[in-house]
Amino acid sequence: MTTTATTTTTATTTTNSDTRVTVLGLGAMGSAIARNFLDRGYRTTVWNRTASKSTPLVEAGATAAATAAEAVAASPLVVVCLLDSTALDEVLASVEPAVKGKVLVNVTSGSAGQARANERWAGERGAEYLDGKIMGDPPYVGTDRVMFPFSGSRSAFEAHESTLRELGSVAYHGEDAGLAAVEFMAQVALAYELLIGYLHVLKLVQAEGVDVVEFTERFAGSLPAYPALLGSMGQAVKSGAYAPDLGSLDVQAALMDDLIAHRESLGVDTMRMREVKELMDRRIVDGHGDQGFSSLFEVLGGAAAQV
Ligand code: FVH
């Protein structure tokens, strides 16, 4: 049994009216995705565990399916946007008979390993799989303020690229279904690494009675220099040729004891600066004191790249 809106909606983009898309999961993000497709004229079928969440979308022209399997059967392209991988596994189990021949686009948060397992699950049942991650907030779906890294089936991405690009700023990262999650996790991790360091420094600044907002405004003035610095450090890591960026480690290390002593005198955490000093000391002992900060990459723990 399906419920289709009695009110007609004039599609803003009539060219999409014969393109069918299904959205499973109508939480904050799933609803924004479904709404975006509706606004652009797609024949949109929706399903949600709590059926009442489909009502506003049906009123906007969506077809609400009674079951997730019915929703999958309704379109060649199925976008799945659920809370987590546990929810995903439950819903995929319920749609198993319907996925053959479909393109499943999972944008639920999850790990690279889960994405690869999802792709195997889909392939074993005759479906193509794309893994996507969402970097942005629901109100901005459909604008370039939301980034969607995708990975997995190249043919599926190419076949539905124009539809997927309706969601926001889209990039395809390759056939390995885990790469979108790798990109997402790396981007999120880098933001956390930067921001926790920022908060640690605010502790130091505030302890010295300096206004944290005024300090932040001054530091923000130096941010335009970072893209070039990060680019040169990335090249150094890739090539293994470490120029003395930020100066040589011999010079940089001389500063570290003062940095640590300053924090200790104010009762501010020193763990991050002690980590940097320890890495610098190891790199210098290894005979690379003439190289730059990027050469610390060589003394960080971590596995070799996946082959
Ligand atoms: N919201 C955000 O700003 C962030 C932006 C970045 C990406 N995340 C990820 O997007 C996924 C969905 O997030 P959401 O914000 O839409 O989450 P909710 O509003 O809580 O909706 C969750 C939906 O999942 C359904 N659900 C939960 N458990 C189950 C289950 N066991 N079986 C079936 N469906 C399930 C839930 O259904 P209901 O509770 O309404 O019945 C919602 O449809 C997420 O991965 C974020 O990390 C969002």
Which tens digit of pLDDT belongs to each residue from 98-109?
999 999 999 999
Nearest alpha carbon to residue 104 among 84, 75, 83, 133: 75
| Boundary (domain end) residue, out of 165, 183, 201 | 183
Ligand 1: distance of its center to the CA of 90 in Å?
13
Ligand 1: distance of its center to the CA of 106 in Å?
12
Cα angle at 185 between 27 and 155, to 5 degrees? 75
Mean pLDDT, the chain, integer: 93
Residue owning the nearest CA to atom 28 of ligand 1: 87
Ligand 1: distance of its center to the CA of 80 in Å?
10
Task: Give a yes or no: residue 196 inside a domain.
Answer: no
Burial class (CB in 10 A: 0-12, 13-18, 19+), 179: buried
Cβ atoms within 10 Å of 9's Cβ, excluding its own: 13
Range of the domain at 176: 9-183
Task: Give a yes or no: residue 307 inside a domain.
Answer: no
Answer yes or no: do 41 and 141 share one domain.
yes
Answer yes or no: do 219 and 143 share one domain.
no
Task: Give a yes or no: residue 85 inside a domain.
Answer: yes
CA distance 284 to 189: 28
In this prediction, residue 301 has a pLDDT band, given cuts at 50, 70 and 90, of confident
Distances (CA, A) of 52 to 3, 63, 73, 98, 125: 12, 13, 21, 23, 30
Task: Give a yes or no: residue 189 inside a domain.
Answer: no
For residue range 153-199, what is the model confidence (pLDDT) as tens digits?
A: 999 999 999 999 999 999 999 999 999 999 999 999 999 999 999 99
What the block records as the tokens of 240 is: 């293994």
Task: Give a yes or no: residue 89 inside a domain.
Answer: yes
| Boundary (domain end) residue, out of 167, 183, 199 | 183
Query: Is 250 in contact with 290 (CB distance < 8 Å)?
Result: yes
User: Does residue 306 surpass a pLDDT of 90?
Assistant: no
Cβ atoms within 10 Å of 20's Cβ, excluding its own: 18
Residue owning the nearest CA to atom 21 of ligand 1: 27
* pTM more than 0.85: yes
For residue range 259-300, what is the model confidence (pLDDT) as tens digits?
A: 999 999 999 999 999 999 999 999 999 999 999 999 999 999
Answer yes or no: do 145 and 23 share one domain.
yes
Answer yes or no: do 164 and 215 share one domain.
no
Answer yes or no: do 42 and 135 share one domain.
yes
Coil/strand/helix, residue 79: strand
Domains: count for the chain = 2
Task: Give a yes or no: residue 110 inside a domain.
Answer: yes
Task: Give a yes or no: residue 1 inside a domain.
Answer: no
Which ranges of the chain would DSSP assign to H, the alpha helix?
Answer: 28-39, 55-59, 68-73, 85-95, 112-124, 154-164, 179-207, 212-220, 226-239, 249-266, 271-285
